[in-house]
Structure 1
Amino acid sequence: MTSPHRRGFETQREEVTSEGLPVEGTVPSWLAGHYVQNGPGQFEVGGRTLGHWFDPLAMVRGFRIDDGVSYTNKFVRSRDFAFARDRGRVRTQFPGTPPDRPVWTRLRQALTGTFPDNPVIGVARIDGGLAAITESPVALTLDPETLATTGRIDLTEGLDVDLTLGHPHYDPRRETLVNLGVSYGRETSYTLFRRDGGAVEPTARVAFDDAPYVHSFALTDRYAVLPAMPFGLDTTALLTGALTGRTFVDAFERFDRAGEFVVVDRETGSVAARPRVDPLFVYHHANAFPDGDELVVDLVGYRDQRAVTDLTIANLRSDSPSVPRGDLQRYRLPLDGGRATGETIREGHMEFPVIDYPGTLGRPYDRVYVAETDRNSPLPTRLARVTVPDGEATTWGEPGVFPGEPMFVSAPATADTEGAVLSVVLDGETGGSFLVVLDATTMSELARAPLPHRLPYGFHGQFYAADGPVRSMA
């Protein structure tokens, strides 16, 4: 019998539009807006299975909630997508899959910094429009209604960087996007910048002797916090990989040094502190806020680089996959030069921390929503509302289902609730998917809307309210 979780790693080629999904239960009357999620859609190219979970061709999925629920999904028409569909080959080096190109083409790509444009991580509003994003120099713009791909934005224009992160922040006070750009060369550097419309302004630069991998960062009103951990790229191995066929994942290694958090003062552009810490790997931050002479940073922390290297498609599709363990952790970063201290708020496995964003961004807060995983599953099996810092949790789940990222939506002041949680859920038993709506306090189910087909397990999304299109997460 096929393990139910495998359905989350199977291709879905079908693109559909449904003006009215059947709804079981009652969607709150105040809940109106557009929920858009991104993630894998196609796991094979030319008959070859792609190597890593970050490799599949991107598929965006959209839910319009307003007196009912409508749904559409579309592949993002990137250059990588067109090359794969037209020629049955991989155009550029994906994280875990080398390109199907002649050696001289691969070498030219490596020397000129040709990165994939397959935007599989998330979505964001950039320059007033909706776009699919990843760790790339470009974003692919989308029609907000049909999700059709409409164009490209050069995210590195005006910056001396090779690519940007797939987790930009929205600064609610300044009403700008804040992100990091990455440069690989004789030294690796991260450039903090803000984007206001089409105007881009670099505000700080931090250089490193090695090449730490930073997937996301924490943000407060004054500071940005980069987790510069001893896990990252052997850049020489990555460059020679153009000749040998080694990939980003093959070149991912542990460095012989301590971990550190780099605290950047957003006003002056200077490094305010670099507190050291025992090594940990970080994909996603929950929140950060000042507390006296310290910064508090909450995140999901892993023990080592296997959080990256174990996420191969072969492993995830197996009956007994090796699953990296991520714990919800709190770190205190002294700004006077001392060492960072940490504690575990809640033991994993868990991922996708979501807060009331931007309502509590950079400020003390009391809860975070996560997707938790049983130890024998590579996909989350329940959603949890975790109080911080005590770690107590209220959960929702059902046998055989795999819920995705828990998207918190804040209710208006006139509603008798703090909000709702949305999630796209894979039903491994029936082979279908549905959108679930939960009460954000009790985690009880309010409604669900079955989809007309199965969706592969997704990554990140945003909810844009109809009366105020402000993003819902980092």
Structure 2
Amino acid sequence: MSEQLFKSGFSNLDHEQNAVPLKTQGRIPYWLNGTLFRNGPAKFSANENLGWHTHWFDGLAMLHKFSFCEGNVIYSNRYLRSNAYYSTLEKGQFNTGFGSKGGTRIKYANNTNINVAILDDRFMALSETPGIIEFNPVNLETVDVFNFDDSLGGQLTTAHPHYDLQTGRYINFTTEFGRKHAYNLYSVAPHSRKRDLIASVRTDRPAYMHSFANTENYVIITEFPLVIDPRDLANEQKTLIENFTWKPDHGTLFRVVRKSDGIILKTFEAEAFFSFHHVNAFEINGGLVLDICALEDAKTINHLQVSNLKGKTGEPIFVQLRRYTVKFDSRNVSYEVISPASIDLPRINYGRYSGKSYRYAYGISTNKDHYENYPNQLAKADLQRGTTTIWRQDGCYPGEPIFVQRPNSSDEDDGVVLSVVLDGRNSHSFLLVLDAQTFEELGRADVTHHIPFGFHGIFTGEQYM
């Protein structure tokens, strides 16, 4: 599509709203009661006249909230008041952050614009730096930096923690640079802010990793060959990701840790590939299965500069949904492609099937016959049948699809899928509600303005009006 109607998804959203009722079309299920929280960048330039220079991952964080009550939807949005936010608005300086060229390195920027999580019964905005920001779920106001009650070290982390379905524990890891580099894998008990170390996994080649895998008994850290010499971090002329180098000869390592005692079982090896997102993982007799949204290399990171995304359509980037099989009696890991569609920002029925054998995955997708620089359809992959169901509307660009289970249901896909969609033709966004089983539209709630393309979020059954 030559018009590239998705461009407004990378433009600033300057106004904030509180508790605005949305006009709905179709039917929003009456059983759908709760709150959808979304996180993502919403300001890409301090001054529109200066041009666009920011990496997508570095736009200033904005929280969005959709509250559901008996078929009605109420919307709120608010910028996160971080050091990065105040520096940009008061001084016109953007943080170099993840990959923004020409910016300024802001100390403790805490531009946590990637995900939302609940920790110690509090709502948190997350990114890949250790500074977590707490916010109020009712009015979305920024509370403060959340401090853990321990001294665990680390300069990087992931924005995709897991929740152990058996214990309710929050699981994540930090990457610590030092004389001996390590991934510090930890868990946090419910109603606590103390990180309990599970294992310290030594590495001589710290890698960039956006997510990891979790099963009932194991955590798997997938170490891609996008690696860093931590001494390079002293160079203030480089962005964070520019310090990482693609080393395909290193291959990809799967480091498997047993949660019960922190024993590192073994390191398994596969050919070089890159990924932002694990989908799910589960245990099989004598091994593990990991489903991953995979890319051949890490070139896509630079493609995500806003100037590239808003430029002319470039070389197509398709993300393969791969199933990697780890066998404990072998060091080598093999894979198969399990969906014909390009799928990323994946979600599953997490509350019931995280770390377990499952059937369905949902994600954003790029239509191979109508390629654009931003994904233009939603996909539901049936991993048993090897089939994929698509929702697509011309000129519309969906965000991460979040599955919400219907109360008292037993089928894995009995519920709805929620996605914030940009209507590029009419320059506004809407919240799409799909029947998760048929993948057909049930209804939508129209927002009066555009919502810039975000990343991740959560749905909670509590209503925060």
- Cα distance between partner residues in 2 of 1:156 and 1:217: 24
**Cα deviation digits, residues 148-183 of structure 1 (max 9, x gap):** 111210258431222321111111211111011111
Whether contact under 8 Å (1:141, 1:152) holds in the other structure is yes
Whether contact under 8 Å (2:175, 2:206) holds in the other structure is no
Q: What percent of counterpart residues are identical?
A: 31
Residue 241 of structure 2: aligned partner: 249
Residue 311 of structure 1: aligned partner: 304
**Cα deviation digits, residues 189-244 of structure 1 (max 9, x gap):** 2111011221221111112111211110010111001111111334343322x1xx
Residue 299 of structure 1, CA deviation: 1.0
- Cα distance between partner residues in 2 of 1:48 and 1:238: 27
Residue 46 of structure 2: aligned partner: 45
- Cα distance between partner residues in 2 of 1:269 and 1:148: 38
Q: 2:415 aligns with which of 396, 412, 419?
A: 419
Whether contact under 8 Å (2:341, 2:388) holds in the other structure is no
- Cα distance between partner residues in 2 of 1:26 and 1:341: 44
Stretch deviating more after TM superposition (302-311 or 441-450) = 302-311
Correspondences of 1:32-431 after superposition (within 5 Å): 32-46=33-47, 47=50, 49-67=52-70, 68-90=72-94, 92-97=95-100, 116-155=109-148, 157-196=150-189, 197-240=192-235, 242=236, 245-255=237-247, 256-375=249-368, 376-413=371-408, 418-431=414-427
Stretch deviating more after TM superposition (125-134 or 314-323) = 314-323
Residue 250 of structure 1, CA deviation: 2.3
TM-score with structure 2 length normalisation?
Answer: 0.93
- Cα distance between partner residues in 2 of 1:232 and 1:187: 15
Q: Unpaired segments of 5 or more residues in structure 2? A: none
Q: Unpaired segments of 5 or more residues in structure 1? A: 470-474
Q: Secondary structure at the match of 1:94?
A: coil
- Cα distance between partner residues in 2 of 1:188 and 1:61: 37
Residue 319 of structure 1, CA deviation: 2.2
**Cα deviation digits, residues 394-427 of structure 1 (max 9, x gap):** 1111000001101000111269971100000001
- CA 1:327–1:222: 2 relative to 1, 3 Å: same
Residue 472 of structure 1: aligned partner: none
**Cα deviation digits, residues 235-261 of structure 1 (max 9, x gap):** 343322x1xx12123223212312111
Whether contact under 8 Å (1:249, 1:309) holds in the other structure is no
Whether contact under 8 Å (2:53, 2:307) holds in the other structure is no
- Cα distance between partner residues in 2 of 1:401 and 1:452: 15
Q: Secondary structure at the match of 1:339?
A: coil
1:463 aligns with 2:456: no
- Cα distance between partner residues in 2 of 1:387 and 1:190: 34
- CA 1:326–1:249: 2 relative to 1, 3 Å: same
- Cα distance between partner residues in 2 of 1:341 and 1:358: 28
- Cα distance between partner residues in 2 of 1:443 and 1:61: 24
Whether contact under 8 Å (2:399, 2:454) holds in the other structure is yes
Whether contact under 8 Å (2:341, 2:379) holds in the other structure is no
- Cα distance between partner residues in 2 of 1:397 and 1:147: 31
- Cα distance between partner residues in 1 of 2:451 and 2:314: 21
- Cα distance between partner residues in 1 of 2:148 and 2:316: 33
Stretch deviating more after TM superposition (375-384 or 457-466) = 375-384
- Cα distance between partner residues in 1 of 2:28 and 2:194: 39
Whether contact under 8 Å (1:80, 1:117) holds in the other structure is yes
- Cα distance between partner residues in 1 of 2:425 and 2:410: 36
- Cα distance between partner residues in 2 of 1:234 and 1:432: 43
Whether contact under 8 Å (1:350, 1:380) holds in the other structure is no
- Cα distance between partner residues in 1 of 2:109 and 2:342: 30
Whether contact under 8 Å (2:339, 2:383) holds in the other structure is no
- Cα distance between partner residues in 2 of 1:50 and 1:126: 34
Which amino acid letter does the alignment assign opposite residue 188 of structure 1? H
**Cα deviation digits, residues 45-98 of structure 1 (max 9, x gap):** 3546343111100111100001210000111001111111111113x5311125
TM-score with structure 1 length normalisation?
Answer: 0.91
Residue 390 of structure 1, CA deviation: 3.9
Whether contact under 8 Å (2:34, 2:67) holds in the other structure is yes
What is the CA RMSD across the aligned residues, in angstroms?
2.0
